[in-house]
Amino acid sequence: MKLQLALDELPLDEALALAESVLEYVDIIEIGTPFVIARGMEAVRRFRERFQEKKILSDEKIMDGGYFESQLAFDAGADYVTALGVTDILTVKGCLRAAHDSGKALVIDMICVEDLPGRIAELEAAGVKNLAVHTGADQQAAGRQPIEDLKVMKQHARHSAISVAGGINSLTIQQYVDQQPDVIIVGSAITKADDPVLEARLIKTAMLGGAHE
Q: Where are the domains of the chain?
A: 2-210
Which are the contacts of 159, defined by CB distance < 8 A and separation ≥ 6?
Answer: 124, 129
CATH code linked to domain 2-210: 3.20.20.70
Q: In degrees rounded to 5, what are phi and psi of residue 11?
A: -60, 155
pLDDT at 211: 43
pLDDT at 134: 84
Q: What is the mean pLDDT of residues 74-103?
A: 98
Strand spans (E) along 52-144: 55-62, 80-84, 105-109, 130-134
Q: What is the mean pLDDT of residues 100-129?
A: 97
Q: Is pLDDT at 68 greater than 80 in this prediction?
A: yes
Banded pLDDT at 135 (limits 50, 70, 90): confident
